[in-house]
Structure 1
């Protein structure tokens, strides 16, 4: 019961029981969660006794029924309208479901694998619930997932090594960079000439000291940290296309299928399975061990000390169509290269944004293959092209249109800030 003991050591003081409105007013929530919480608290010194009792299966059934009920509530209506207290309840239920599943299965290899999946779903759908760890607040499910992943990693040590990452030679050396290219500009210069003026720039010499620049080429390193974790990926040519969809996959399976030498360059593999793209995902909140390999560039601290950090990982040929974002963006290239095409906010009307509210930040114009017969106003647009290479940072001001295409397997990190 070593893993259960470690997870129980994270046992939160459950301030949420006193502060969460849903638990206060919904008797079913309160009664089920109090019963299973008390059973854990009463058996802290001997979980074997709890594991052997008849109550453990009954508690797991109670948790499962309530978990399914809350999961359904999270998927009713629009996501932004889901109350945060309902998501907190889902987080706590995920924690208890993991504990009781491991107790019932006596920490079998399969139960640990399933528990990692439950933790990741809880991280993605739930709200953060903190517990006190030596005077510091830590996120419950993030710590749970780290403990489980460490246990699973020990089992995976004898697995065969992955094929090396497949990165092609760069044949884009003659592509002209059509925006200013700056080597480690001062904060003052960047602020006055680019941030304040909303002018894009290519920055170099900023992230050379990131541990990620050396470590993330090693697929064994990435899989060792996150192989059993579940992540959302995009399937299809690009998110504005009819063939686009999303799927949850194991990080290891995503790596093997899309980034190793066994992967194909085309959009589909030999079985017709479409290539996947881990795009705009908060991977570093989910897996803090990877967060330690990157540092927030100083240029962000001028206006925002808490940027939103997103991961972009995928094979050659992944595309983000011409679109805009409302925040400042530092797009940092860790490995691989990307073609970027930019257009200013002043050209918005000439770029034919989609009319549907979900896609109204996305252009109907294919910036790579311009069709002036369909979109004649695009003739008036000044498009600016560049190639983003390993170690480069692209500053994209708010409202600037940008098209992004990976020229080879690529890992990028975005810092969105205000």
Structure 2
């Protein structure tokens, strides 16, 4: 059985990919996984045609193989993406009469969150209404000063379309995505699970079980081009400190229920955090206060603080009381510019969908 042989090879390669730190995995192993995944897709489809088996189950199995090849592999991305898009479209056509929920993410929460928080409060960051590129560059990009930007993305189709659960299911319901489970990546209850977007929305957005699920820091738009067509790279991202990087922008999705948290951390790149659905509160601290925030250190968490701004432990981290906090309340259609090395803690008040743009 050719499929059994391919699956055995994929299982061995999977083990190799998940041994040690991801950054140290040889590119040849990832390339092999991509190749085997594409072969599996082809074999499944050929077998389905030859044996005339259940179409939906074959399509789902083939689509999962293509998505895993995209998520874990490093080559044949164009071929895998094309195959995944065709399979996803075929699956949706077969389930068009099966909507999920009441259709609107805004109506899922029984009781929306509010801005009454315990813990630390900060000075509100500046707020600008669609500044010119020149003004933003001179006063914020060059000076590395955070700012909230409004009325810059009102034309994005995402602001309307992504509020509709069934639109998200239409363009990506059968797609496999990595979901973070637990309160935060710094906690012992944290883990990762691969789910279809449909199952993620059902279990963690609509039903909202006991474990928090967060589709966080995932390049969803490389995986689902229909969603990428609903947004635009903001012009501010084309400001660059290095000319050769002026078109190198990393775009990530952040989708989850109310109460999701990104612990206090910093990123090495410029960041525009755009809010599409729901609201978020962001606390910020300047790089000069780094020692007062008590980094975890080490390879994995050197850019993550031990301090929790919502439950500050001044006995263990006494200098934290001297750190100056800033904060930003993000609503749909707004963006927050977070400069490199600026510490930030992010909490969602509602079901939330955000997009981050990182660049140098």
Same fold (TM over 0.5): yes
* Structure 1 vs Structure 2 CA RMSD: 2.0
- Structure 1 residues 160 and 293, CA gap change in structure 2 (3 angstroms): closer
Is residue 100 from structure 1 mapped to residue 34 from structure 2 by the alignment?
no
Is residue 314 from structure 1 mapped to residue 256 from structure 2 by the alignment?
yes
Q: 1:116 aligns with which of 63, 68, 75?
A: 63
Residue matched to 1:348:
290
Q: 2:26 aligns with which of 73, 83, 86?
A: 83
CA distance in 1, matches of 2:29, 2:312: 47
Q: Deviations over 1:4-51 (max 9, x none)?
A: xxxxxxxxxxxxxxxxxxxxxxxxxxxxxxxxxxxxxxxxxxxxxxxx
CA displacement at 1:149 relative to structure 2: 0.3
Is residue 238 from structure 1 mapped to residue 180 from structure 2 by the alignment?
no
Is the 8 Å Cα contact of residues 128 and 140 (structure 1) preserved in structure 2? no
CA distance in 2, matches of 1:171, 1:82: 44
Is residue 195 from structure 1 mapped to residue 132 from structure 2 by the alignment?
no
CA displacement at 1:176 relative to structure 2: 8.4
Is residue 208 from structure 1 mapped to residue 208 from structure 2 by the alignment?
no
Is the 8 Å Cα contact of residues 177 and 387 (structure 1) preserved in structure 2? no
Higher-Rg structure is 1
CA displacement at 1:72 relative to structure 2: 3.0
SS in 1 for 2:304: coil
Residue matched to 1:44:
none
Q: 1:274 aligns with which of 205, 208, 211?
A: 211
TM-score of the pair, normalised by structure 2: 0.90
CA distance in 2, matches of 1:70, 1:233: 22
CA displacement at 1:157 relative to structure 2: 1.2
CA distance in 1, matches of 2:11, 2:61: 16
**5+ residue gaps, structure 2:** 241-245
Q: Deviations over 1:272-328 (max 9, x none)?
A: x40201100110111111111000000011222120000000000001111111110
Is the 8 Å Cα contact of residues 278 and 312 (structure 1) preserved in structure 2? yes
Q: Deviations over 1:133-166 (max 9, x none)?
A: xxxxxx1111110010011011111214423322
Residue matched to 1:286:
223
- Structure 1 residues 203 and 160, CA gap change in structure 2 (3 angstroms): closer
**5+ residue gaps, structure 1:** 1-56, 131-138, 264-268
SS in 1 for 2:254: strand
CA displacement at 1:409 relative to structure 2: 0.5
- The size of the alignment, in residue pairs, is 344
CA distance in 2, matches of 1:73, 1:218: 39
CA distance in 2, matches of 1:64, 1:252: 25
CA distance in 2, matches of 1:374, 1:71: 41
Counterparts of residues 5-404 of structure 1 (less than 5 Å): 57=1, 59-106=2-49, 108-129=55-76, 139-163=78-102, 164-165=104-105, 166-167=108-109, 171-172=114-115, 178-260=124-206, 262-263=207-208, 269=209, 273-303=210-240, 304-404=246-346
Q: Deviations over 1:166-213 (max 9, x none)?
A: 25557449x986111100111111111111111100001111100101
CA displacement at 1:77 relative to structure 2: 3.4
CA displacement at 1:129 relative to structure 2: 1.8
CA distance in 1, matches of 2:20, 2:12: 15
SS in 2 for 1:361: strand
The runs of at least 4 aligned residues of structure 1 exceeding 6 Å deviation read none
CA distance in 2, matches of 1:224, 1:354: 41
Residue matched to 1:413:
355
Residue matched to 2:243:
none
Is the 8 Å Cα contact of residues 123 and 325 (structure 2) preserved in structure 1? no
Structure ranking higher on relative contact order (CA contacts 8 Å, 6+ apart): 2
CA distance in 2, matches of 1:67, 1:235: 25
- Structure 1 residues 87 and 275, CA gap change in structure 2 (3 angstroms): same
TM-score of the pair, normalised by structure 1: 0.78
CA distance in 2, matches of 1:160, 1:124: 27
